[in-house]
Structure 1
Amino acid sequence: MRSFYAVVPLSLALRAAALYEDWHFGNMFAIGPASNAQITKATYSLTPPAVPCGSVQEKSEAPWLSIWVGVSASMSDQTADLFQPLLNWSPDQEAQGCPATAEEWCVATSTYHLSGQVQQPYITVPNKSQIDFTITVDSNEITQEVSIAGEQVSKQSDDKSVSPTFLYSSNECYLNSCGTVAGYSWDNLTIHLNQADPNFGETLILYNATSSGLTTSDEGKTWHAESIKINEDYFYTDGSQKECSS
């Protein structure tokens, strides 16, 4: 496990830069690539933080924020599809096709292709609810599932266009004016590989995040982290860091 402050956000920026200059990436973690192994399944949970405060609409359209974990074969190659269930928020939820109020989050299974985003309809997340995510890779498809309180609320299956070797996350803000994002935790993260890789746990990289690390009980085929905590984050066009008032 190692922390760093430039390489991963740059990789994420490269993924978006060619087409989407208004996308900005914040705190996150990354795991991979596996050595001669591929990710076959990932499960993880999240209790969403409070919605952002201090967002500013500086253009004709409102900003929006996404929190996500996804799998792909690359972190920088635009042609490598990214399978990324999205937790989304905007001060103008209706404009994003989200049925929630501005005090709630929305969630949807979603896949990024070079040609654009393909996703299921957004579902409102009840405040303080735990969301459970599953990404499963088989020989033909990659399937994303999202459940709240044990009930599946979103599912999407795509052709297996890549063999995932990376699992990574980000706070992602459109227009860089989403405001202050409270810290939160990705919990009970488990990654299954198609073959054992005893060094996979050492690939964990943290950017303004903390974790006790990954452990394995089967010599490297299955890896588990109790939690990966993402620090408070800031998205302001002037680079400021503002705290939410209580």
Structure 2
Amino acid sequence: MPSFRKLTPMALLAATANAAFGPYFSTGPTASGVYIYSSTATITLPNSPSGAGSGYDLSLWVGMGTSLGDLVQSITDNFNNGWSVYAYTLKSTGPNSQEVIQGPSKAAKPGDVVRVEYQYVATDNYKQTVYLNGVAVSTLTTNDGKAQGWGSAVECAATNCGTVAAHKWTNVQIVLSAADPNYVRTLGLAGGATGSMTTSDGGKTWNVGTISIPQFTF
């Protein structure tokens, strides 16, 4: 399970005593007064990691950090050689405390196609929808403030997840509440991850296309 401590809009990956992270793509924060209105991303699930230890828990996800310190992060989770997918929010309840809010979980397998959509639906509320091979299998709406950063992660609950196969997030698009032409300048890449951002409407709609994550060993 994801086990972040405090999340800031500056980056989705925060220091944690319990989890380890691999390559990532990150953006944010948005310009003052601008927030993430919606996003979509698709992953074809890779094989389970090789050489993992007993009880390992690997998560591949894209998520959004919000103004309230929440992390909106639908999960593709590989636990002991099996995939599952579900909507998930890690909600900040204090400076050093969080609450897990999880939607229904659905079993999956390598080769399955998972699409994750985030949508601002009401004042400070985001709806997550997870599609498995085109069918909506998990939804969740939480009150999170306004999303100011978006990124991907390869997360191991400990350090025993072995070698994670290379994989890609495709058809990635981030739509902002208003144009932020400088949002591209917040792009960060680590661990050999690749990806780029383009806009054709002055910075409101950002087309990322494909985020490529290389093989990684914990």
Same fold (TM over 0.5): yes
Q: What is the alpha-carbon distance in structure 1 between the residues aligned to residue 195 and residue 61 of structure 2? A: 20
| Cα distance, 1:22 vs structure 2 | 2.1
Q: Please say if residues 29 and 209 of structure 1, whose CA atoms lie closer than 8 Å, have aligned partners that are also in contact.
A: no
Q: What is the alpha-carbon distance in structure 1 between the residues aligned to residue 57 and residue 31 of structure 2? A: 36
Structure 2 match to 1:136: 119
Q: Please say if residues 88 and 107 of structure 1, whose CA atoms lie closer than 8 Å, have aligned partners that are also in contact.
A: yes
Equivalent residue of 1:202, what SS?
A: helix
Equivalent residue of 1:12, what SS?
A: coil
**Runs ≥4 in structure 1, deviation > 2 angstroms?**
10-14, 209-212
Structure 2 match to 1:151: 135
Structure 1 match to 2:51: 54
Q: Please say if residues 72 and 162 of structure 1, whose CA atoms lie closer than 8 Å, have aligned partners that are also in contact.
A: no
Higher helix share: 1
Structure 2 match to 1:88: 77
Point out where structure 2 has 5 or more consecutive residues left out of the alignment: 1-10, 93-97
Deviation string 1:129-149 (CA, Å, 9 cap, x unpaired) is: 211110001333210001122
What is the TM-score of this pair, normalised by structure 1? 0.77
| 1:105 partner letter | W
Q: Does 1:34 align with 2:30?
A: yes
1:219 to 197, 202, 206: 202
Structure 1 match to 2:19: 23
Q: What is the alpha-carbon distance in structure 1 between the residues aligned to residue 12 and residue 88 of structure 2? A: 20
| Cα distance, 1:116 vs structure 2 | 2.6
| 1:156 partner letter | L
Q: What is the alpha-carbon distance in structure 2 between the residues aligned to residue 42 and residue 11 of structure 1? A: 15
Once superposed, what is the RMSD of the aligned Cα atoms?
Answer: 1.9
Q: Please say if residues 135 and 145 of structure 1, whose CA atoms lie closer than 8 Å, have aligned partners that are also in contact.
A: yes
Q: Report 1:142-221 matches (<5 A).
A: 142-159=126-143, 161-221=144-204
| Cα distance, 1:212 vs structure 2 | 4.8
Q: What is the alpha-carbon distance in structure 2 between the residues aligned to residue 205 and residue 185 of structure 1? A: 16
- More deviation, 65-74/41-50: 65-74
Equivalent residue of 2:184, what SS?
A: helix
Identity among equivalent pairs (%)? 31
- Which structure would you say has the larger Rg? 1
Equivalent residue of 2:145, what SS?
A: coil
| 2:53 partner letter | V
Q: Does 1:110 align with 2:88?
A: yes
Q: Please say if residues 189 and 227 of structure 1, whose CA atoms lie closer than 8 Å, have aligned partners that are also in contact.
A: yes
Q: Please say if residues 13 and 24 of structure 1, whose CA atoms lie closer than 8 Å, have aligned partners that are also in contact.
A: no
Structure 1 match to 2:40: 43
Deviation string 1:196-242 (CA, Å, 9 cap, x unpaired) is: 0111122211112443511111111100011010111111xxxxxxx
Number of residue pairs matched?
202
Point out where structure 1 has 5 or more consecutive residues left out of the alignment: 1-9, 92-101, 236-246
Q: What is the alpha-carbon distance in structure 2 between the residues aligned to residue 105 and residue 28 of structure 1? A: 20
Q: What is the alpha-carbon distance in structure 1 between the residues aligned to residue 148 and residue 170 of structure 2? A: 20
Higher strand share: 2
| Cα distance, 1:164 vs structure 2 | 0.7
Structure 1 residues 11 and 155: CA distance shift in structure 2, 3 A: closer
Q: What is the alpha-carbon distance in structure 2 between the residues aligned to residue 28 and residue 219 of structure 1? A: 26
| Cα distance, 1:35 vs structure 2 | 1.3
What is the TM-score of this pair, normalised by structure 2? 0.86
Q: Please say if residues 58 and 155 of structure 2, whose CA atoms lie closer than 8 Å, have aligned partners that are also in contact.
A: yes
